[in-house]
């Protein structure tokens, strides 16, 4: 069991999905919810155990079917991937908990789909084989297509259509890139590719470059990097907020793939091709941050606002990946965890606030007062401080760290002012949104009906629990900033340790 | 053979891209299908094209690379499922939105005519 631990974060969600898919529970929604919560808790605990084991014993390599690398497919559980697997499992648990308050009844198969999505995301984080990465991308995508349509309306159908078509084109480009890279390198194992890419000669170098840059296009599409970010605001704002909160991890899959591919395969040791995508990522990331900032200023409702905050965070992360130093990567790891938790919390908050304001929903205009201003107000304040990056919460630490990490990068004199200006824009819009939603009331609307529906939409205990887990991330990441940053630095230095990576992965562990 | 193979991939890609850029869902789905055919062919050729060679080690000195064939199989299966999904989604879009345009609305005919008229006048 213990040597197969690396495979469990993929196997458990799959089993959970299959169990929940069966008619075992009939129409009994309560038992289905309880089973789903229990199973996602187990997944979360197992990923924590894996995390501890990787901390204690070093990187775990699991060869599927005992076919050793580079011939078979390996799963690589190193500090970075296990951290992200745990984050995904936590987010899945939170979303299942939140949806159990009633959102899961708006369509069929909510719970199995969440588990299949977690299966795909975990697989994408753990795999050490680039074609397997494609397969897990497809697994998470097909689950996300169905989740996106869950309980949706007309606007939702249109956004889903765009999302699906874009991602199908993206998958096709992914395959072309893989074909080119396989044709040149003759292997699909990432560590083996990293070794062979330095040995390329003549025209093959250019072919590998084409393949590598096509991969960048795909990851930019998944991660919503400018100019391929246009699908994100609509998709995230029309999906059910709990689904949008779960999707907060999906853009990070794109960023994580960039981290792997452009640090390991096309990193320091790639000969002529080393750091070939760095300039592209750096400038497009800055453009993404700027675009996200404009979007944040222009957002008219809380969900759009949060979707644009996701774009800013993706831009920030990709900029850090482009710097390619250990310090920048560790800042990126810390910021990734922080931004995932806080954007997910904001999506859930937007939903809760919207439910208590009747027809005005989550639009940033004066409307009826929320029923529980203290609870939601305090949660919003904490999430807002974290997302803006004000002291004393995790956003501040992340921001200081990433500014420090980009100090020596090329063109920092463009990045710093841009990033700080966008932070100011975020500060302005979030403050405006908060004060409008909580303080500007317009109670002239029909009172009697409104109070009834507001009474019904008081925060459900399950929703509250889910929200508090996410919100608590910000203060906890501040209190435990020491061990967390040490972990992030360790994970980053392992990611950058080329020879060690190759040795561990190709020899099948230790 | 290489020329024929490469040009058929190229023709499929260009037709696929052209169709994907159309405004109605049916041509777009058709375009996606063609694009994925092209991709499958391309992926198959990444193991080099060869005639009369077994994909099994040990039976002959010259052997074809078996891996691209496995990759193509995976890609075909996934592409098939995705196409089925997008077809269903397009049908749902047709019923939900009342038309089969990818953007969910029929472009304004009058505006278009006006533009034409203006051009004629100019």
B68 closest CB neighbour out of A153, A154, A182: A182
pLDDT over 90 (residue A506): no
Lowest-pLDDT choice from A182-191, A352-361, A439-448: A439-448
Predicted local distance difference test score (pLDDT) of residue A2:
66
Q: What angle do CA A38, A43, A49 make, to 5 degrees?
A: 125
What value does the mean pLDDT of chain A take?
87
Are A12 and A42 in contact, with CB atoms under 8 Å apart?
Answer: yes
pLDDT over 70 (residue B110): no
* pLDDT higher at A26 or A326: A326
Instruction: Say which residue the tokens 């100011």 belong to.
Output: A424
Write out chain A residues lying below 8 Å of B77, CB-based: none
Domain ranges, residue B46 = 2-121
Q: Tell me the per-residue pLDDT of B45-71, one tens digit each, with 9 for 90 and over.
A: 888 887 777 777 676 677 778 888 889
Are A49 and A148 in contact, with CB atoms under 8 Å apart?
Answer: no
Predicted local distance difference test score (pLDDT) of residue A420:
92
Q: H or E segment at A60?
A: strand A60-63
pLDDT over 60 (residue A483): yes
Write out chain A residues lying below 8 Å of B45, CB-based: 179, 183
Section A252-256 average pLDDT: 93
Predicted local distance difference test score (pLDDT) of residue A496:
87
CA dihedral sign, ordered A298, A302, A304, A306? positive
Q: Where does the pLDDT of residue A510 fall: very low under 50, low under 70, confident under 90, or very high at 90 and above?
A: very low
B36 closest CB neighbour out of A162, A165, A172: A172
Distance, CA of A206 to CA of A218 (rounded, Å) = 19
Are the Cβ atoms of A164 and B89 closer than 8 angstroms? Answer: yes
The C-alpha of B1 sits at a distance from chain A's nearest C-alpha, in angstroms, of 18
Are the Cβ atoms of A169 and B35 closer than 8 angstroms? Answer: yes
Write out chain A residues lying below 8 Å of B72, CB-based: none
Section A374-395 average pLDDT: 89
Are the Cβ atoms of B39 and A131 closer than 8 angstroms? Answer: no
B97 closest CB neighbour out of A154, A172, A179: A154
Are B46 and A183 in contact, with CB atoms under 8 Å apart?
Answer: yes
> Residue B65 corresponds to which tokens in the numbers above?
């690379």
CATH number of the domain enclosing B116? 1.10.287
Lowest-pLDDT choice from A141-145, A153-157, A176-180, A399-403: A153-157
The C-alpha of A45 sits at a distance from chain B's nearest C-alpha, in angstroms, of 31
Are A411 and A278 in contact, with CB atoms under 8 Å apart?
Answer: no
Are the Cβ atoms of B20 and A180 closer than 8 angstroms? Answer: no
Q: Where does the pLDDT of residue B118 fall: very low under 50, low under 70, confident under 90, or very high at 90 and above?
A: very low
Question: Which residues 6+ apart lie within 8 Å of A152 measured at CB?
Answer: A107, A160, A238, A239, A240
Distance, CA of A275 to CA of A510 (rounded, Å) = 28
Q: Where does the pLDDT of residue A455 fall: very low under 50, low under 70, confident under 90, or very high at 90 and above?
A: low
State what percent of residues in chain A have pLDDT above 90: 39
Question: Which residues 6+ apart lie within 8 Å of B40 measured at CB?
Answer: A175, B72, B75, B76, B79
pLDDT over 80 (residue A94): yes
Distance, CA of A99 to CA of A463 (rounded, Å) = 8
Predicted local distance difference test score (pLDDT) of residue B121:
39
Instruction: Say which residue the tokens 């970010």 belong to.
Output: A229
B97 closest CB neighbour out of A138, A157, A164: A157
Write out chain A residues lying below 8 Å of B82, CB-based: 138, 142, 164, 168, 171
The C-alpha of B114 sits at a distance from chain A's nearest C-alpha, in angstroms, of 28
Q: Where does the pLDDT of residue B116 fall: very low under 50, low under 70, confident under 90, or very high at 90 and above?
A: very low
The C-alpha of B8 sits at a distance from chain A's nearest C-alpha, in angstroms, of 15
- Chain B, nearest residue to A142 by Cα: B82
Q: CB pairs below 8 Å between A and B: how many?
A: 86
Count of structural domains within chain B: 1
* pLDDT higher at A206 or B116: A206
Predicted local distance difference test score (pLDDT) of residue A198:
85
Q: Where does the pLDDT of residue B117 fall: very low under 50, low under 70, confident under 90, or very high at 90 and above?
A: very low
Predicted local distance difference test score (pLDDT) of residue B111:
56
Section A439-443 average pLDDT: 76
Write out chain A residues lying below 8 Å of B79, CB-based: 171
Cross-strand pairs, A441 = A367
Are A87 and A125 in contact, with CB atoms under 8 Å apart?
Answer: no
Predicted local distance difference test score (pLDDT) of residue A452:
54
Predicted local distance difference test score (pLDDT) of residue A449:
53
pLDDT over 70 (residue B115): no
**Orientation of helix A110-126 relative to helix A250-260, angle to 10°:** 10
Distance, CA of A155 to CA of A510 (rounded, Å) = 51
Prediction ipTM score: 0.86
């Amino acid at each position: 069991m213990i040597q197969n631990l690396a495979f469990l974060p993929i196997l458990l969600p799959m089993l959970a999905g299959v169990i929940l898919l069966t008619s075992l529970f009939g129409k009994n929604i309560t038992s289905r919810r309880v089973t789903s919560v229990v199973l996602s808790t187990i997944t979360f605990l197992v990923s924590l155990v894996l995390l501890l084991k990787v901390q204690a014993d070093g990187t775990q390599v699991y060869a599927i079917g005992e076919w050793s690398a580079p011939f078979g497919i390996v799963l690589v559980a190193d500090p970075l991937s296990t951290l992200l697997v745990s984050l995904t499992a936590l987010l899945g648990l939170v979303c299942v908990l939140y949806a159990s308050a009633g959102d899961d009844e708006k369509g069929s198969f909510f719970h199995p789909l969440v588990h299949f999505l977690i299966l795909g995301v975990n697989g994408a984080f753990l795999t050490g084989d680039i074609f397997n990465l494609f397969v897990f991308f497809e697994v998470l995508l097909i689950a996300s297509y169905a989740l996106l349509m869950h309980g949706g309306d007309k606007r939702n159908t249109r956004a889903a259509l765009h999302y699906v078509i874009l991602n199908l084109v993206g998958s096709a480009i992914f395959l072309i890139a893989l074909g080119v890279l396989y044709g040149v390198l003759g292997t699909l194992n990432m560590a083996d590719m990293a070794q062979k890419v330095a040995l390329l000669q003549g025209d093959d170098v250019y072919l590998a470059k084409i393949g590598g840059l096509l991969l960048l296009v795909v990851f930019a599409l998944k991660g919503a990097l400018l100019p391929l970010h246009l699908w994100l605001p609509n998709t995230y704002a029309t999906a059910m907020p709990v689904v949008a909160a779960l999707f907060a991890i999906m853009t990070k899959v794109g960023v994580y793939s960039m981290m792997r591919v452009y640090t390991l395969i096309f990193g320091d040791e790639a000969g002529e091709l080393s750091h070939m995508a760095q300039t592209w990522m750096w400038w497009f990331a800055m453009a993404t941050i700027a675009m996200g900032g404009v979007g944040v200023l222009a957002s008219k409702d809380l969900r759009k606002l949060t979707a644009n905050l996701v774009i800013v965070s993706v831009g920030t992360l990709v900029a850090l990946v482009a710097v390619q130093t250990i310090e920048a990567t560790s800042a990126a790891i810390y910021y990734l965890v922080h931004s995932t938790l806080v954007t997910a919390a904001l999506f859930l908050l937007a939903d809760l606030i919207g439910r208590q304001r009747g027809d005005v929903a989550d639009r940033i205009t004066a409307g009826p007062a929320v029923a529980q201003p203290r609870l939601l107000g305090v949660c919003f304040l904490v999430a807002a401080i974290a997302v803006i990056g004000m002291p004393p919460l995790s956003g501040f630490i992340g921001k200081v760290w990433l500014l420090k990490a980009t100090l020596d990068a090329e063109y920092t004199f463009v990045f710093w002012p841009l990033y700080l200006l966008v932070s100011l824009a975020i500060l302005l819009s979030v403050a405006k949104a908060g004060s409008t939603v909580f303080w500007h009331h317009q109670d002239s609307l029909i009172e009697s009906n409104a109070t009834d529906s507001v009474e019904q939409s008081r925060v459900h205990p399950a929703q509250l629990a889910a929200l508090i887990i996410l919100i608590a991330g910000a203060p906890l990441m501040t209190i435990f900033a020491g061990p967390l940053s040490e972990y992030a630095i360790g994970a980053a230095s392992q990611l950058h340790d080329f020879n060690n990576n190759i040795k561990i992965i190709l020899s099948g562990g230790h | 053979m290489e020329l024929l193979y490469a040009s058929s991939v190229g023709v499929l890609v260009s037709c696929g891209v052209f169709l994907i850029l159309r405004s109605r869902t049916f041509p777009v789905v058709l375009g996606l299908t063609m694009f994925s055919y092209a991709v499958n062919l391309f992926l198959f050729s990444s193991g080099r094209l060869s005639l009369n060679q077994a994909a099994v080690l040990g039976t002959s000195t010259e052997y074809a690379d078996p891996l691209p064939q496995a990759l193509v199989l995976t890609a075909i299966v996934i592409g098939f499922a995705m196409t089925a999904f997008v077809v269903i989604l397009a049908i749902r879009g047709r019923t939900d939105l009342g038309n089969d345009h990818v953007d969910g609305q029929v472009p304004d005919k009058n505006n278009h005519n006006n533009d034409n008229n203006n051009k004629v006048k100019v």
